[in-house]
Structure 1
Amino acid sequence: MNSDAIQEQAAPLRLTDPYEALSALEAAVPGMAALRRAEPARFNWAAAEACLGTALPADFKLLAELYPPLSLGDYMVVHTPPVGAEHEWAKAVLEEEEDTADLLDVDDLSGVLSAYPAPGGLLVWGSSFEGDTFLWTTHGISPQEWKVTVATHNSDWWHYTAGAIQFTADLISGALEPWGLPPVRPEVVAIRD
């Protein structure tokens, strides 16, 4: 398969400000604001990013700081770290490299895409309860430029030119075509804290 075989959707307007992306998610999931932490959690992002060997996108970090880990629409989870376990979380994210490489091999995409830490490689940030995987394509000068890559459980692969939080908001609100993904209800549950 070549890179032309992987379709790409462009966000109608890419939200580069993390607060705007989070506001879009809160608008798409009205019950979410009730789960917001009274005070932002303090994460040791430096430890997580040192372990990963890269900075993380600001929208992802903002979601983690303001909300506990969430299950959205009884469908998907954004893999934010537990407070105080940032280094362990980062190690677990890096261990998913082998799973990502296996997905690429099974779908005959290892010549087109690669797993992180390869330059521009795919780094997991979320998953669904149906076996779909949500990744960042770590290409760009800064993590704010990373786009989302979707690997559905049916072996459909595609890119969305937005960050993880905007992608999640656009998926739930219906602002994007959910190629190979089911509709996601605008419901949210805190899964742990």
Structure 2
Amino acid sequence: MDDFAGTQTPVRRLTDPAEAITALELAVPGMTSLRLPTPRVIDWPALEAELGVALPVDYKLLCELYPSFVIGDFLGVGSPEPGGETGWVQGTREELETIAEWCEEADLAVPLHPFPTPGGLLPWAVSPQGDFFLWSTNPTDPQEWTVTVASRSSVWWHYTGGAVQFLADFVAGVLEPWALPRVRAEVVAW
């Protein structure tokens, strides 16, 4: 049986993408050493058209400023490479197949569904152990999307902030990790 652990809410939701990046850099000091000398130019309009939805600005800024990375040997945040936008969308669609299976098998009071179902879950990070970090794509404004965690141990939970703020709060120990390990504030390029 799957378990819904609950919802965690930040003290204040960071709506400015640059402020969210700064919070992450404070939580994970090594992030600044990975910052690219020039922001990457990702074809977001083409990627979002192929995916069928616009993505949150905090995530897009993170992808432009940093290569794909892993925090604490646990949480991997992949990003599209310039010119590789189609491959990134295809990889996301493959992950959505797994998420669809998990949603079907989950015995949650409020059923969850994968994207492109309206309000569906869309992956943005993974762990090597098979945990998924997802956006809840409801409401329709991506700047208001929240995070849903689906752990390999069948514990699901929500965080009412954005993805980059989630990373900062998770690493800083502000969040109860509910079925996830605590992670060290270390980062390496993926």
Give the TM bin, normalised by the shorter chain: over 0.9
Match of 2:171 in 1: 172
Farther off after superposition, 9-18 or 92-101: 92-101
Distance in structure 1 (CA, Å) of the matches to 2:41 and 2:188: 21
Distance in structure 2 (CA, Å) of the matches to 1:37 and 1:5: 38
Q: Is 1:59 the counterpart of 2:58 in the alignment?
A: yes
Match of 1:76 in 2: 75
The structure 1 segments of at least 4 consecutive aligned residues displaced by more than 6 Å after TM superposition are none
Q: Identity rate of aligned residues, in percent?
A: 52
Match of 2:158 in 1: 159
The count of residues paired between Structure 1 and Structure 2 equals 190
Q: What TM-score does the superposition give when structure 2 sets the normalisation length? A: 0.94
SS at match of 2:30: helix
Q: What TM-score does the superposition give when structure 1 sets the normalisation length? A: 0.93
Match of 1:103 in 2: 102
Distance in structure 1 (CA, Å) of the matches to 2:25 and 2:45: 27
Farther off after superposition, 83-92 or 8-17: 83-92
- CA shift at 1:95, angstroms? 2.6
SS at match of 1:60: helix
- CA shift at 1:111, angstroms? 6.4
Residue 8 of structure 1 contacts residue 160 of structure 1 at CA under 8 Å; is this kept in 2? yes
66 and 107 in structure 1: CA distance in 2 versus 1, 3 angstrom threshold: same
Distance in structure 1 (CA, Å) of the matches to 2:89 and 2:130: 21
151 and 5 in structure 1: CA distance in 2 versus 1, 3 angstrom threshold: closer
Distance in structure 2 (CA, Å) of the matches to 1:81 and 1:24: 22
- CA shift at 1:31, angstroms? 1.0
Q: Is 1:48 the counterpart of 2:50 in the alignment?
A: no
Amino acid aligned to 1:25: L
Unaligned runs of 5+ in 1: none
Distance in structure 2 (CA, Å) of the matches to 1:58 and 1:72: 21
Distance in structure 1 (CA, Å) of the matches to 2:158 and 2:116: 19
- CA shift at 1:78, angstroms? 1.1
Distance in structure 1 (CA, Å) of the matches to 2:93 and 2:139: 19
Residue 51 of structure 1 contacts residue 91 of structure 1 at CA under 8 Å; is this kept in 2? no
Residue 5 of structure 2 contacts residue 178 of structure 2 at CA under 8 Å; is this kept in 1? no
SS at match of 2:178: coil
Distance in structure 2 (CA, Å) of the matches to 1:177 and 1:63: 24
Unaligned runs of 5+ in 2: none
Distance in structure 2 (CA, Å) of the matches to 1:43 and 1:143: 18
Distance in structure 2 (CA, Å) of the matches to 1:50 and 1:6: 34
SS at match of 1:172: helix
SS at match of 1:30: coil
- CA shift at 1:76, angstroms? 0.9
Question: Over aligned residues, Cα RMSD in angstroms?
Answer: 1.8
